[in-house]
Amino acid sequence: MIPTEIKFHSRSANLELIYDDFSHTLSAEYLRVFSPSAEVKGHSADQAVLQHGKRNVTIREIEPQGNYAIRLVFSDGHDTGIFSWQYLKELGDHHELNWHNYLNQLKEAGKTRDALFIAVST
């Protein structure tokens, strides 16, 4: 299912996917941690890399990929995820469960949504 319109709301860092009779609003953070790239998902489920520290990530560019997908370029430099229309709809349809599971994985791993900054004094 192809969205009829895509809007990026820079202030909230949300991507809005508008379909004929419904819409999904997905945060840049959510899209970043669920990127379909091999860097995130690995080549199998046991190779997936838990993404953390992405709370303040935003989307820098949205690039069409033929008629089947978009490529998102994120503010943290990640740019290898090609989001098919089908995958974006699945992310929207399962947002609540995906997000709940992600937060549990972070907790179990002792990780946080916030980026860690280390101050270096000279």
pLDDT at 42: 86
d(CA 51, CA 22): 29
Residues of the chain whose pLDDT is less than 70?
117-122
- The model's pLDDT over 78-95, given as tens digits with 9 standing for 90+, comes to 999 999 999 999 999 999
Give the residue among 63, 57, 54 at the shortest CA–CA distance from 6: 63
pLDDT at 121: 60
Domains present along the chain, CATH in parentheses: 5-109 (3.30.2020.30)
Give the residue among 102, 100, 122, 120 at the shortest CA–CA distance from 111: 102
pLDDT at 122: 60
pLDDT at 97: 98
Q: Which element (helix H / strand E) includes 25?
A: strand 23-27
pLDDT at 100: 98
pLDDT at 4: 96
Give the residue among 38, 18, 11 at the shortest CA–CA distance from 92: 18
